[in-house]
Structure 1
């Protein structure tokens, strides 16, 4: 079997003598205690994203052992290897800045090391997209499983969990409802165990859309991290990986335009994270096609939000698991999905659905005729403020603010916002629109999750709970509010957002899909002539230089241009000229990557 699949014989190190290369490889791996019989089996690589900084992946070592067991039961040789581990709360300046680094790590290590198939183990927001981006680029047989969501905690009898409740309680603390002692007590209970956020945040969303795309065995997205079912699913994943190696079923045959359309459909139906739009765009770019924002909008118009989970609803991921997981959702939108898409099982999505247990009535997955929200969770916006698009999670917004005209209160950077948002003399009222500039892919850098700007303290204390907020940054999938995100082109490359000034009127009309700056074009031309790029983008070395040279805008998934299957001809936002040589301004100390440029 190993000869047919190549096993350890593939991808030999270049020593100028293939026989010696194989001899040396086997000699060294025998130091791990393997027998010749073991080394004759097909090799199944297993990624290991465990890190002492990553609580989401605390249970990954147990998952790896279960995957190994499954591989061995199917006659394969499991070999684990580490890749970059990225956690949201421990990544400076933001995890998104490092997602592409992780994707490169996955691609190159899978390509460089001998394996006939690879098991991808993700957990925490950016790890799943990075794994799939790398797998799409190398196109070796691959299968995904995830750490699974946390279980919920409790505070004074109230059920709670990370991280929607993190934000809710912190907002109440800022408004003076909780003192320092109680907010610390709450902090001890928000993350009650290993796993990813147990609301419909980015990690939960990416797990569900990955299962919908066919890259995960059925039922795997919603199993809580602490459940025995999680380990049984991991074992089955290891078994299936050996079969994938034999069948040579590749990611490019599974992650197709049609399967990504299914992923977008599920994204809308579950009220998923806006971050998934960026990640799915990056995955599509690795596969050689573009994610169509107009298609996302059309799918949203057809697909109501059916899953009653925070932040758009009431429940948590363990409740979705008990309600039947993704299969329960797919059956409600059965007439809207492409059931002929092939999956890692070797069967179609429709065949997989038919093999799952029958659904049952519950309050978590609502029937399509009685949805949580009509018209989809996410809406695409366009206008002179966002020529390349912006998005809003309308299912998590205040309905009365979805059509609103207000005066801009502008923060020119993350630092400016931090310095002034709570100032007693800030000129702001509840009808204004908060605008954050330079929080995009280059502006942040890394498009930080700062788009859900805090309500200015003096308004929060007065009881204001939501305002229209606009930025070129992202928002955590766990967040809520009337927040316009991913404005493109971003301010840091001279997009229209960079031209907004205090007092300008902005019109938001979500129903019409409009985001407009109500300023004369002649004034915009004048302001544009005075624009200069932020100094922190002037980097001369290391990963930071690669990042600023190559990162694309939100509609292209913030991926590196040279990693796309079909790289873009990058144009200047202000001149329209090819700007490959303009993207690296000069006069910046090379230490910037460790200072202001990455400080968020």
Structure 2
């Protein structure tokens, strides 16, 4: 018996419109030139798009060029017709001036593809950091059935018998280089050994974090996020994902039925529990905006701070992605959060069942990797939201506060979790690298490194540059970290407890525009404040001097991005785009 969809597939408006046989012929004919038949496209079976994010320019996602074959098999076996198409490449490590420019650009391109072509449902292939939010943002805007397939992390990296995690080893090795412990050749060897196979970062960086978020939001099949790219289970997951998206097309199970405030709050909690990336904050805010879900910047403290760190994975812990997968991955973490009463189990997922139903019985057997809720690696290890006269919003990832950093800055008797520091201000990363070792700055343990001009408008795009390391002289004395503050971002693989994503940024008149080297900054993690101890009259005088200069736009997209993009506190989205939701409800006009 033929299956009947909950509502007619939108592709019928292209391939089976009796009122416009001329247009049906036009739409059909060129698909024939690679072997499709009119009977297939007019059969009433759903057309399933595979949004291909893998390419030679996107090595973290390149595995999808192979996985797509299994996804196609699943689609065909379930009764769908697969159509694979490319999306804008995103590669965090190599894109200059920053891959943050690409998230919103990829979003725009994918919206146009999903809306303007005969696609009934879509598989979003993800991996590297921004491929996940850009795809989910677009799927929410168009609102057709969508499922996320992660490409998975690389195998664990090893160097001289030591686990070396991608990204994290870069930041740790540059300190060793500054200390004179390794040379440049050893630095390169450590970095390359951390990336031993296909896949995205094997640490709990932004890639692993955002694919975990997709699973928690209910947009991936259970267990999808953590399977390493080369494992057999990854190909099997690709096949099952292909099968399931066909069912979703028939069921009309769209993002608008899955994405709710409760599901996003679940995601915030999980990011804290896994020691996830601070980049999750703007990405989750952006996805919520495009889904029409109200989130507040304060939700990151209200729902994402008083949570334990459960996952022992770099940069906040010891291990890497293979062990996390074998320990049970995201479902095992969710199991612990349910035990602690910290997860809404009623949220719907792409399986058609609730998240609570999906993870029943998924408790870990590896307590070295995934800790019990009541015996975690760290208590209160989530994200703190700060504000003050320097900014209205900044966020701090507390799970990477090292014992040495806590002892030096956060353990003064009677003033725990409070400190003051002398600001050293840099005009972007070039200035930082040029001057960090300048003896005239007199940088010591009592300083806070401040970087401005790194936000969405100033950079443009918001750069991962806030995790500044101390001068070489301090590192050689054993001071491996200073407090850092900036209006940009940092790599999710970094172990720096920076105050970052500061909004409003200096380029639009935020407080970092008037701070000066030598100002004293008071940080109070108890009260959630960060203030420069500068008199109001002096602040007003400095504001009258104007804003720090920003580099000119070098491409048309950079100029448009600067004109239309908001601040990181709200997700850095294109301000005009969030009003477009559920656009697939309206069929595009004919093209001839």
1:514 corresponding residue in structure 2? 529
1:68 corresponding residue in structure 2? 72
The structure-2 alpha-carbon separation of the partners of 1:358 and 1:496, relative to structure 1 and needing over 3 Å to count, comes to: closer
Which SS does the other structure have where 2:420 is aligned? strand
Moved over 6 A (4+): none
Contact 2:15/2:28 (8 A) holds in 1 = no
Contact 2:449/2:485 (8 A) holds in 1 = yes
Which SS does the other structure have where 1:188 is aligned? helix
Which SS does the other structure have where 2:193 is aligned? coil
Q: Per-residue CA shift, 1:244-301, capped at 9, x if unaligned?
A: 1101111011111111011011111111100001000001111223322222212234
Distance apart, 1:542 and its partner CA:
1.9
Structure 2: gaps (5+ residues) = 411-417, 582-592
Matches within 5 A, 1:158-557: 158-334=162-338, 335-354=341-360, 357-387=362-392, 389-397=393-401, 398-400=405-407, 401-402=409-410, 403-532=418-547, 534-536=549-551, 539=553, 542-557=556-571
Q: Separation in 1 of the partners of 2:363 and 2:395?
A: 36
Q: Separation in 1 of the partners of 2:227 and 2:428?
A: 39
Match 2:30 to one of 17, 28, 38: 28
Q: Which moved more, 1:148-157 or 1:397-406?
A: 397-406
Which SS does the other structure have where 2:576 is aligned? helix
Distance apart, 1:51 and its partner CA:
1.6
Which SS does the other structure have where 1:169 is aligned? helix
2:20 corresponding residue in structure 1? 18
The structure-2 alpha-carbon separation of the partners of 1:7 and 1:32, relative to structure 1 and needing over 3 Å to count, comes to: farther
Contact 1:161/1:192 (8 A) holds in 2 = no
RMSD: 2.1
Q: Separation in 1 of the partners of 2:209 and 2:549?
A: 33
Contact 2:165/2:314 (8 A) holds in 1 = no
Distance apart, 1:357 and its partner CA:
4.5
Q: Separation in 2 of the partners of 1:11 and 1:486?
A: 44
Distance apart, 1:11 and its partner CA:
5.1
Q: How many matched pairs?
A: 563
The structure-2 alpha-carbon separation of the partners of 1:121 and 1:468, relative to structure 1 and needing over 3 Å to count, comes to: same
Q: Separation in 1 of the partners of 2:346 and 2:219?
A: 14
Q: Separation in 2 of the partners of 1:358 and 1:260?
A: 23
Contact 1:467/1:482 (8 A) holds in 2 = no
Q: Separation in 2 of the partners of 1:278 and 1:12?
A: 40
Q: Which moved more, 1:319-328 or 1:370-379?
A: 370-379
Contact 1:290/1:556 (8 A) holds in 2 = no
Q: Separation in 2 of the partners of 1:293 and 1:179?
A: 43
The structure-2 alpha-carbon separation of the partners of 1:415 and 1:302, relative to structure 1 and needing over 3 Å to count, comes to: closer
Contact 1:100/1:130 (8 A) holds in 2 = yes
Q: Per-residue CA shift, 1:563-594, capped at 9, x if unaligned?
A: 11389xxxxxxxxxxxxxxxxxxxxxxxxxxx
1:564 corresponding residue in structure 2? 578
Distance apart, 1:454 and its partner CA:
2.4
Q: Per-residue CA shift, 1:330-375, capped at 9, x if unaligned?
A: 1111021111111111111111112x54542421110111111111
Q: Separation in 2 of the partners of 1:26 and 1:324?
A: 46
Q: Separation in 2 of the partners of 1:177 and 1:38?
A: 64
Contact 2:164/2:190 (8 A) holds in 1 = no
Contact 1:440/1:486 (8 A) holds in 2 = yes
Which SS does the other structure have where 2:376 is aligned? coil
Structure 1: gaps (5+ residues) = 568-600
Give the TM-score normalised by the residue count of structure 1: 0.90
Give the TM-score normalised by the residue count of structure 2: 0.91
Q: Separation in 1 of the partners of 2:320 and 2:188?
A: 22
